[in-house]
Amino acid sequence: MRHLLEIDDLSSAEVNQILDLATDAPQALAGKGMALIFEKPSARTRNSMEMAVVQLGGHPVYIQGQEVGFDTRETVEDVTRTMACFHSLVGARVFAHSVVERMAALDLVPVVNMLSDAAHPLQALADLLTMRREFGELQGRSVAYVGDANNVARSLALAAGRAGMSFRISSPSGYGFSEVDADRIANAGVTIDIHDRPEDAVAGADAVYADTWTSMGQEAEAEQRRRDFEGFQVDERLMALAVPGAIFLHCLPAHRNEEVTDAVLDGDCSRIWVQAANRMHAARGALAWLAQENG
Ligand code: CP
Ligand code: NVA
């Protein structure tokens, strides 16, 4: 059974198939259900997934994490077995990545990671779709990520590798990729250019990417992080170092004038709303692909 927990679950060819299906998807979920379980809040992921399921002919069921109570009301495995009684696909947004791994390990129903502490593959697929629509062929293009080497950064690095793009990153000391993540990215054949200074990462890049300095679940560290990430804000001065016509991307939600200025978010280089809209198209491609693979 195929699952989608992280981008390296997919080959380069499969990533391309998903991006192609994003624009031309069959009614792969006609008469079928998908459970969407959220342990954390969501605006884009919930709405894009619900609409993608509807567009594929299926029926999405939104479930708040506390309703199923992973490992409190019932074990993760029993929640998954229950969902498999009713649904053809299960998506989960979780704190610990190990939860989606345990769900997938049962091989009862295809599992989609809708964001964990480690990965955000649906976001990375939408990011590739956004850059493909902007640049055409992605091979040889570069994306520079400025900030926390978090779930979004890890999936983006793997996705860039699958698309033949180069990936650069600049993070404050202590906020770079862990050794485990760096090994995983290297094992996927992705070379990362790590730079101490954001200016060096961004210089000559085709796309510049930022995410929040404080991810969901890290709120207690917000003050410390604001201090530690000083100098890592994406502003117009930083954007000017990228190639002329470079685009700015952000998974959103943005913390305006923290990791990125209003001028960049709302400026000509910004593609954040196209990128948000592409979440639905990429989700459609990913779900159609999973339904076909597991059909
Ligand atoms: N980018 C993203 O996943 O947004 P939400 O947290 O609103 O779903
Ligand atoms: N890194 C952020 C992404 C939100 C879409 C988080 O995990 O909260």
Q: Which atom of ligand 1 is nearest to the CA of 43?
A: 7
pLDDT (tens digit per residue) in 244-256: 999 999 999 999 9
Please choose, from the candidates 127, 210, 193, the residue with its C-alpha nearest in 3D space to the C-alpha of residue 162.
127
- Position 166 scores a pLDDT of 97
Pair 192, 169: CB distance under 8 Å:
yes
Give the residue-averaged pLDDT of 102-123: 98
Q: What are the DSSP E strand ranges found in the chain?
A: 33-38, 59-64, 89-93, 111-113, 142-146, 166-170, 192-194, 207-210, 247-250
Q: Which ligand is nearest to the CA of 42?
A: 1
- Position 34 scores a pLDDT of 98
Q: Which residues contact 46 (CB under 8 A, 6 or more apart)?
A: 36, 38, 62
Pair 70, 79: CB distance under 8 Å:
yes
The band of 116, judged by pLDDT with boundaries at 50, 70 and 90, is very high
Q: Rounded to 5, what percent of the chain is helix, strand, coil?
A: 45, 15, 40
Q: Which ligand is nearest to the CA of 46?
A: 1
Give the residue-averaged pLDDT of 81-91: 98
Tell me the CA–centroid distance for residue 119 and ligand 1, in Å. Answer: 12
Give the residue-averaged pLDDT of 262-290: 98
- Position 211 scores a pLDDT of 98
Tell me the CA–centroid distance for residue 252 and ligand 2, in Å. Answer: 8
C-alpha span between 189 and 191 (Å, rounded): 7
The band of 37, judged by pLDDT with boundaries at 50, 70 and 90, is very high
Q: Which ligand is nearest to the CA of 283?
A: 1
pLDDT (tens digit per residue) in 119-173: 999 999 999 999 999 999 999 999 999 999 999 999 999 999 999 999 999 999 9
Percent of the chain with pLDDT over 90: 99
Tell me the CA–centroid distance for residue 108 and ligand 2, in Å. Answer: 28
C-alpha span between 98 and 116 (Å, rounded): 9
- Position 179 scores a pLDDT of 95
Q: Which residues line ligand 1 (CB under 6 A)?
A: 42-45, 115, 123, 251-253
Choose one of 45, 211, 214, 218 to mutate for the ligand 2 pocket test, by most ligand atoms within 8 angstroms of C-beta.
211
Give the residue-averaged pLDDT of 219-239: 98
- Position 277 scores a pLDDT of 98
- Position 38 scores a pLDDT of 98
- Position 99 scores a pLDDT of 98
Percent of the chain with pLDDT over 70: 100
Q: Which atom of ligand 2 is nearest to the CA of 211?
A: 1
- How much is the mean pLDDT over the chain? 98
- Position 233 scores a pLDDT of 98
Choose one of 152, 156, 214 to mutate for the ligand 2 pocket test, by most ligand atoms within 8 angstroms of C-beta.
152
